[in-house]
Structure 1
């Protein structure tokens, strides 16, 4: 597929070979047949930053795979505190940070420590399917507060969230910001309104901020816990370098505890009950945070280019009903009807008719049945192939 001349390419990210991608052992490419293009799970197709690869290689070559000696605690703790201060001006203590293998484990631990089966947990939908599944399988009462699709784009229904929290006596709010799957970045004013709800109803807020470093200008990420002392004292922040540097397979995340009682309860658990992160994952994560700026800056220019290209394609399919560009992430959330789909399985229909695997549908919560999520973190040429297949399906559906 020819790349439009208006799309500036970057050799670091655009020289991807399809045959090499298909040989990758990860789930993104191995879950599809040889004629299918995957644009579903939130993994980027790009190679990991060289500084990350070198940090891991150096650790191995130095023979440093024994039990680590970290008398002052895992160095991820200070690394994350430094990262938050440098990027957001958020001053936190390294002693309030802990590490886990991934955000889902962190959420599960927090719900285990702070709630019991039957307790109500509020979540804004659509939302990340593993979070919704976690709440359900842990037998907590999931209280859905839908976002609103307006002429201006996706907006959080703050009044609806307040009503849902009050009417169901919620104990916890799971906040996802930047939002997955819509890509919205909540403004400081919107966050302040949510913080007021949390204060009024004494909620524990579990804030997933893993996409915080994938925000497009002029939007800015505001850590929820940075709003005020009261908000900080009731907020646990989940984060990782996994999404922003394409290293999810390192299985490494961090959790900042605002509530002192909850941190003490966590530390009172048996040592290593919830697993530990490996020295390799620590080395890779710290290298990304400390030395990955050039790679990340180039990445954001490529992702910005790609999201604009997807927006152009969606306008071609949808006309006046086109969907807004995401303000963050490399995920595009749009209505399946733009591709001529109206059934209950838009993912399956897209796979069958276009040979493209997207994500979407009811796993993202109520009212998501007719939505699809497209991962555009790939090369310009592969993105053109994906959009061409989807465009052909859309035109055939319209009879043009």
Structure 2
């Protein structure tokens, strides 16, 4: 590690475990004092100083009255500006609406655009609350399994085309960058998806919340930026919460491409689906406006951590199957070669004192998979990896 890299990561590696456990957030609080958490997708790092300053300034003004937003919050313009600056996508501020989080965004879109029994295509494995939403809302999930290849995780476009046609899907939920595999779709791959969406007249709900956590040389491309057709059939969901560690601010945005869907949304009672807090808007604006330097340092740390995790797995657990993620701070690990006699999450918790996510909530075929959150300090990560490898060593025959 260079001296410059050491300088960058110092603030991210200086994490006191008593402080982590004492914060009261679910990640560290729920597992108990003897278990290391690497499960729920929160980072362990303190939030960006720019966000802290903005929230303090808001509190110091002692003004938490009703905001004067006759035409929507400032996030509409902030989102459009960020999409232009980051990705060259001329998103339209007037098509942006605020919600409290991405799950609510998805549920609202499904409520407005589909009916009970309608088929919705979705990549699997996938973020468990998305899959649970489809079940709870009575939408028929059509799994599109990601393929594990020697080059990494890939979408099966022939399977997508056939499944959408056979099930008469109305919607495709596209998660890119993908949670949990960390895959970032290339422009050519996205254009394949766009061609299928056009052929079958699909509404595309594009979850792009992990876009800003993409590692070079990979590049995120907003799906709606591909073409005028893609723009008109795509609803884009995002938030600053993942890229700046702000889950509790409860603030997200939806960019509506289809005119009819936006009109349906605006015809709803204005407060039926809740409104965002002014403090959530303040935090998001500050992150997008002044948080880029912090985020660059963050990506240096996350890149180091994903490489370290892969290095340890290759050296100590070579039978495990794993592809370093191209984005996110989540690693997706296949334990099927170990032929374990119990779910791997249970094995790692009991024998390694490490709490991980994984298994059936991520969809069909995910039973033997683990999802590891590596957004933590170097010292905590080493202890997580020690517990993980110790717990799985017997299954690996080592």
**What TM-score comes out, normalization by structure 1 length?**
0.96
Return the match for 1:358 from 338, 347, 356. Answer: 356
CA distance in 2, matches of 1:228, 1:41: 35
Q: Which residue of 1 aligns with 2:171?
A: 172
Within 5 Å, give how 1:68-217 maps onto structure 2.
68-217=67-216
RMSD over aligned Cα, in angstroms? 1.8
CA distance in 1, matches of 2:6, 2:150: 31
Q: Which residue of 2 aligns with 1:226?
A: 225
Matched-pair contact (CA < 8 Å) for 2:317–2:393:
no
- Measure how far apart 1:344 and its partner are: 4.9
Aligned residue for 2:211, secondary structure, equals: coil
1:371 aligns with 2:369: yes
CA distance in 2, matches of 1:134, 1:85: 31
CA distance in 2, matches of 1:34, 1:25: 12
CA distance in 2, matches of 1:225, 1:331: 25
Matched-pair contact (CA < 8 Å) for 1:182–1:326:
yes
Q: Which residue of 2 aligns with 1:391?
A: 389
Matched-pair contact (CA < 8 Å) for 2:347–2:392:
no
- Measure how far apart 1:399 and its partner are: 5.0
Q: 310-319 or 325-334: which moved more?
A: 310-319
Q: 315-324 or 206-215: which moved more?
A: 315-324
Matched-pair contact (CA < 8 Å) for 1:317–1:394:
no
CA distance in 2, matches of 1:389, 1:341: 19
Q: Which residue of 1 aligns with 2:312?
A: 313
- Measure how far apart 1:397 and its partner are: 3.6
Aligned residue for 2:106, secondary structure, equals: helix
- Measure how far apart 1:396 and its partner are: 3.7
- Measure how far apart 1:73 and its partner are: 2.1
CA distance in 2, matches of 1:157, 1:96: 31
Matched-pair contact (CA < 8 Å) for 1:148–1:154:
yes
Q: Which residue of 2 aligns with 1:342?
A: 340
Aligned residue for 2:243, secondary structure, equals: coil
CA distance in 2, matches of 1:115, 1:245: 32
- Measure how far apart 1:261 and its partner are: 0.6
Matched-pair contact (CA < 8 Å) for 1:333–1:374:
yes
Matched-pair contact (CA < 8 Å) for 2:317–2:389:
no
Gap runs ≥5 in structure 1: none
Matched-pair contact (CA < 8 Å) for 1:88–1:222:
yes
- Measure how far apart 1:238 and its partner are: 0.1
Aligned residue for 1:358, secondary structure, equals: strand
Aligned residue for 2:62, secondary structure, equals: coil
Aligned residue for 1:205, secondary structure, equals: strand
Aligned residue for 1:299, secondary structure, equals: helix
- Measure how far apart 1:258 and its partner are: 0.2
Gap runs ≥5 in structure 2: none
| Cα displacement string for residues 41-89 of structure 1 (whole angstroms, at most 9, x for unaligned residues) | 0000000001101111111110120000123421000000000000000
Aligned residues: 397
Q: Which residue of 2 aligns with 1:65?
A: 64
Q: Which residue of 2 aligns with 1:45?
A: 44
Against the structure 1 CA distance between its residues 163 and 65, is the aligned structure 2 distance closer, same or farther, given a 3 Å change threshold?
same
CA distance in 2, matches of 1:63, 1:108: 34
Against the structure 1 CA distance between its residues 344 and 189, is the aligned structure 2 distance closer, same or farther, given a 3 Å change threshold?
farther
1:265 aligns with 2:264: yes
CA distance in 2, matches of 1:16, 1:336: 30
Matched-pair contact (CA < 8 Å) for 1:344–1:369:
no
| Cα displacement string for residues 167-187 of structure 1 (whole angstroms, at most 9, x for unaligned residues) | 000000000000000000000
Q: 21-30 or 372-381: which moved more?
A: 21-30
Matched-pair contact (CA < 8 Å) for 1:127–1:365:
yes
CA distance in 1, matches of 2:360, 2:71: 45
Aligned residue for 1:310, secondary structure, equals: helix
- Measure how far apart 1:345 and its partner are: 2.0
Q: Which residue of 1 aligns with 2:291?
A: 292
CA distance in 1, matches of 2:158, 2:127: 22
Against the structure 1 CA distance between its residues 15 and 386, is the aligned structure 2 distance closer, same or farther, given a 3 Å change threshold?
same
| Cα displacement string for residues 126-166 of structure 1 (whole angstroms, at most 9, x for unaligned residues) | 00000000001000111001010111111111110111100
Against the structure 1 CA distance between its residues 212 and 148, is the aligned structure 2 distance closer, same or farther, given a 3 Å change threshold?
same
